């Protein structure tokens, strides 16, 4: 038994999971996954291209949207190739080093996405609550500093995750619950004490996602209070419309993430399929829907996309 316990982690592999019981149709499932991948890549890339090339879009809202698009592209790059490998070639194996690296990038990018959503909430808050000072508060240098600060925060808090996982011994089942590696899933494969990992993971969630979500909620409480003080019904709806796309993005991010977190902590007896599906939604839906939602809600951006796709001059 000691020989098993002393096995070096870098000589072992984990097995990722596609959709249990549906192995015979994995090839067919790869088709919609591939379509989602291509549409998400194209959608977010078009958003970035248009924002970069159109000076009229060099405004805080669109700069934050470009940050969100970059984050979504990073998540797609970190996960989709391996997911397609599972469905197309049944390539389920992933080395521990590669798995720990994926844990780092997935959690870092999700933490960054949460921070970007907070910045976008701050943008909506300033636009409605203090519109006269909007341009003087959200200057380009200040936006750059805020983006850099949140990126550094993400690296600082996520940096220890792979090292905490690396110190554990893995001698139990090596079959992960999802088609990618996340901290909650990997640490359950260990046969050594994971209390430090659990406490750190919970603290990390509270200090990043928990704190950011609380600040987003606070922003919208103040926004709602401001909107209720507007006497003009038309002006109220116009102001509220500026927040609709952001609200959709927040729901697309937090709902599957909350579902996945609850299942990992409380749903041990849940069916495998019930555990798997939120994982796919959590990873695939936000990068797909974010550019669609913002393109629909922003008339200016939508017009620029149509002109670009139709190869027409401004």
CATH number, residue 111: 1.20.1070.10
Residues whose CB falls within 8 Å of the CB of residue 74, separated by 6 or more in sequence, listed in order: 105, 109
Q: Which residue has the tokens 């038309």?
A: 234
The answer on pLDDT for 109 being more than 90 is yes
Number of domains in the chain: 1
For position 275, what pLDDT does the model report? 72
User: What is the H or E stretch that residue 257 is in?
Assistant: helix 233-266
pLDDT band at 116 (very low <50, low <70, confident <90, very high): very high
**For residue 231, which phi and psi values (nearest 5 degrees)?**
-80, -35
The answer on pLDDT for 5 being more than 50 is no
Which tokens is 46 given? 């078009």
For position 185, what pLDDT does the model report? 86
In this structure, is residue 8 part of a structural domain?
no
In this structure, is residue 2 part of a structural domain?
no
Q: How many helices (H) and strands (E) does the chain have?
A: 13, 2
Residues whose CB falls within 8 Å of the CB of residue 227, separated by 6 or more in sequence, listed in order: 128, 236, 239, 240
Helices 60-89 and 272-297 pack at an angle, to 10 degrees, of 140
The answer on pLDDT for 205 being more than 90 is no
Q: What residue numbers bound the domain in which 111 lies?
A: 17-309
What is the Cα–Cα distance from 61 to 56, expressed in whole angstroms? 12
Which tokens is 297 given? 């809600």
Distances (CA, A) of 10 to 58, 93, 99: 46, 13, 11
In this structure, is residue 174 part of a structural domain?
yes
The answer on pLDDT for 242 being more than 80 is no
């Amino acid at each position: 038994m000691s020989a098993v316990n002393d096995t070096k982690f870098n000589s072992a592999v984990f097995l990722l999971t596609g959709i249990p019981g549906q192995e015979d149709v994995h090839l067919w499932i790869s088709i919609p996954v591939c379509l989602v991948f291509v549409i998400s890549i194209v959608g977010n890339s078009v958003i970035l291209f248009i924002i970069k090339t159109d000076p009229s879009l060099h405004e805080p809202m669109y700069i934050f949207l470009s940050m969100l698009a970059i984050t979504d592209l990073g998540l797609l790059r970190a996960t989709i190739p391996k997911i397609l490998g599972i469905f197309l070639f049944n390539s389920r194996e992933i080395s521990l080093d590669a798995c720990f690296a994926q844990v780092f990038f997935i959690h870092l990018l999700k933490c960054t996405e949460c921070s970007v959503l907070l910045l976008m909430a701050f943008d909506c808050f300033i636009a409605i609550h203090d519109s006269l000072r909007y341009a003087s508060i959200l200057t380009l240098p200040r936006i750059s500093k805020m983006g850099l600060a949140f990126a550094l925060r993400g690296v600082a808090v996520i940096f220890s995750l792979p090292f905490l996982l690396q110190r554990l011994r893995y001698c139990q089942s090596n079959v992960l619950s999802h088609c990618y590696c996340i901290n909650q899933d990997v640490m359950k494969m260990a046969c050594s004490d994971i209390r430090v990992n659990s406490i750190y993971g919970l603290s990390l969630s509270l200090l990043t996602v928990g704190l950011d979500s609380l600040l987003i909620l606070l922003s919208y409480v103040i926004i709602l209070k401001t909107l209720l003080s507007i006497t003009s019904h038309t002006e109220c709806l116009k102001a509220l419309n500026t927040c609709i796309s952001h609200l959709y993005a927040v729901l697309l991010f937090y709902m599957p993430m909350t579902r996945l977190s609850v299942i990992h902590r409380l749903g041990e007896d849940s069916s495998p399929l019930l555990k798997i599906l939120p994982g796919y939604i959590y990873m695939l839906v936000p990068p797909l829907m974010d550019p669609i939602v913002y393109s629909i809600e922003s008339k200016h951006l939508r017009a620029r996309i149509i002109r670009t796709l139709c190869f027409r001059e401004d």
